[in-house]
Amino acid sequence: MKILGICHDVLICSAAVVVDGRVTAAIPEERLDRQKQSRVFPNLAIQRCLEMSGLKLTDIDEIAVAWNPAIDMETIPSGYLTARRWRTEHLSQVPARFMQLLGTRAEDSFTVQGGARSCPPITYLNHYHAHIGNALMACPHEEVAVLVMDGRAEKQTSLLAVARGASVEKLCEVDFPHSLGLFYGTVTQFLGFKADSDEWKVMALAAFAEEDNAFIAPLRELIRVHDDGSFELALEYFSFFNFFERRMYSERFVQRFGQPRARNGALTQRDYKLAAAMQVVFEETVTKIATILHRRTGLQHLAVSGGCFMNSVFNGKITEVTPFETCSLSSCPDDSGTSVGAALFLHAQRAAERAAERGEGAAPPREVVRHSYWGPEFSDEACLDVARRYRLPNVEVVEDPSARAAQDLAEGRILGWFQGRMEFGQRALGNRSILLDPRRKDGKDVVNAAVKFREGFRPFAPAILAERVGEWFACPPETRVPFMERVLLFKKERLEQVPAVTHADGTGRLQTVERETAPRFHALIEAFEARTGVPIVLNTSFNLNGEPIVCAPEDAIRTFYTCALDVLYLGNVRIAK
């Protein structure tokens, strides 16, 4: 069974192809059209995913769309159902009218077939079902509690559920405008940053606040969690639900917390404390909700998705602050990952239906995803051809790029590292990365100022050999963080050894690197450890501030020559300045 998944009209549009339950290709549109957070229909991503999967559109059995517009039909005003601009609006007006006549609500999914000749059936899924598909892909358990939280879906902002194989039992839903994601976004905007984009800046700022924080108590008062796991905001402090108002906070919010910080204004201790208070209230709220979910289900395993779970600081604490024994999440819990989630969710539904038709009972268990290297790949030969075509100086082919790159790092050079299939998700995982020796005391400042061109307070990630994680972090030795999705505490005795990758609070948003999934990157870190005794390198995404992560060799070359990188590795091709 071949499923094409798409998400469009979200912050980062994308496409994915799933064949018999396995992801064969997945790409965000921004990597191809080179527009950061591209929101256009993912034509380029669709074409490239099909090409990489060896398929044509007519080979696809079904298309999964990660948004269900039928749910939006529930609230279309009657005036819009009478006046049409062109006849294509019959596609929404007619079913919406019958929905009103019947007094019913939309189904969680619906399928359109026959609208375009030779086009596969198009199934529109509830957005949170796409998130559930995303949450489950990294989960090895067939019965699991599920928590989805983000800014908003068609109307939901939070979902508590149980997944059993391909079936989903909803326990509790929260609808817009009560939204924890938009609460965090409001504080993000109030602090002078861009909501739905810069929330992780607020998360990073929180570590710089002084301990005496008078903002925690009043911020707590703006959200209340109920016994069933639902919650509500004190809406008088917000205005994001007024779509004619660009400001997400109300005048009452300003009266309570002071004047908003101007964009690019100086950061004050007030700003640090408000960021820290938001992080505390966020963690407390999700902890309460997850604990209620555990009580209601009695299950020990949790799977999470939604933009709220891009909060890697909280992700690293989930199994410490809630009763759950394990927590699974993917490399892309945000909306960009719903193309993958939609395709996997629909595949699971169709596989279960076919198994039932054949009298076979349950469908085969899903395959657990262990990596997200689903994007385009360029061979060593192709990389060399590009370097020759541009007549670049100081080009050489090296026999062992991992060993040579480790030498460059140990000698103080900043590297662009371009290898294998591109990662899917907002974090580089060693195939489209910028690398640095983590022992450099000036490393964080140099990369922020001269390479990434971004705020100096933002931290960088330690990529560590998976087999060494227990020696460097305060965690069991079997801990795995393959997607850089969690923040953990360094062991105190290790902090001074790797200053470039330790945050102000002694933590690191780590990536555990395994030989089986990232052999060349693992070999690089192994060679670096052999030279320095440190099994860690600084890893950040290969892009400049305001640009998407590089996809093709041409993107890498342009980025290399417009910042302070010293050496670029394109496969086994080494290019020096």
Structure confidence at residue 116 (pLDDT): 84
Output DSSP code: residue 282.
Answer: H
- Give the confidence band of 80 by pLDDT, cuts at 50, 70, 90: confident
User: Around Cβ 576, how many Cβ atoms within 10 Å?
Assistant: 14
Structure confidence at residue 146 (pLDDT): 98
pLDDT over 90 at 271, yes or no: yes
Structure confidence at residue 504 (pLDDT): 93
State the virtual CA torsion across 44, 46, 52, 55 in degrees, nearest 10: -130
State the virtual CA torsion across 25, 29, 32, 36 in degrees, nearest 10: -140
Token couple for 160: 């508590």
State the virtual CA torsion across 326, 330, 332, 336 in degrees, nearest 10: -110
Structure confidence at residue 340 (pLDDT): 98
Characterize the bridge pairing of strands 432-436 and 415-418.
Answer: antiparallel
d(CA 401, CA 418): 11
pLDDT over 80 at 78, yes or no: no
Structure confidence at residue 547 (pLDDT): 96
Cis bond upstream, residue 120 (ω within 30):
no
User: Around Cβ 457, how many Cβ atoms within 10 Å?
Assistant: 16
Residue with structure tokens 């050079």?
Answer: 413
Q: Give residue 197's identity as a one-letter amino acid code.
A: S
Structure confidence at residue 361 (pLDDT): 73
- Give the confidence band of 430 by pLDDT, cuts at 50, 70, 90: very high
Q: Give residue 328's identity as a one-letter amino acid code.
A: S
What is the DSSP annotation of 82-132?
A: H--SSGGGHHHHHHHHHHHHHT----SEEEE-SSSTTPPPEEEEPHHHHHH
What number is the average pLDDT over the span 535-551? 97
Tell me the three state secondary structure of residue 573.
strand
d(CA 532, CA 434): 19
Which strands make up the sheet holding 536-541, listed edge to edge?
Answer: 395-397, 573-576, 567-570, 415-418, 432-436, 536-541, 461-465, 507-513, 486-489
Structure confidence at residue 84 (pLDDT): 74
Residue with structure tokens 């979200």?
Answer: 10
d(CA 21, CA 45): 19
- Give the confidence band of 87 by pLDDT, cuts at 50, 70, 90: confident
- Give the confidence band of 140 by pLDDT, cuts at 50, 70, 90: very high
Structure confidence at residue 180 (pLDDT): 98
d(CA 179, CA 156): 9
Mean pLDDT of the residues in the chain: 95
Cβ within 8 Å of residue 320, ≥6 positions away: none
Contact 288, 263 (CB under 8 A): no
- Catalogue all structural domains in the chain, each as residue range(s) with its CATH number: 2-68+108-136+336-357 (3.30.420.40), 159-167+174-329 (3.30.420.40), 380-576 (3.90.870.20)
d(CA 377, CA 40): 23
Residue-wise pLDDT tens digits, 351-376:
999 998 888 877 778 889 999 999 99
pLDDT over 80 at 61, yes or no: yes
Structure confidence at residue 483 (pLDDT): 97
Structure confidence at residue 557 (pLDDT): 98
Token couple for 164: 């059993």
Report in angstroms the alpha-carbon separations of 531 from 403, 404, 445, 522, 524.
10, 11, 24, 14, 11
Residue-wise pLDDT tens digits, 3-60:
999 999 898 999 999 999 999 999 999 999 999 999 999 999 999 999 999 999 999 9
Structure confidence at residue 77 (pLDDT): 77
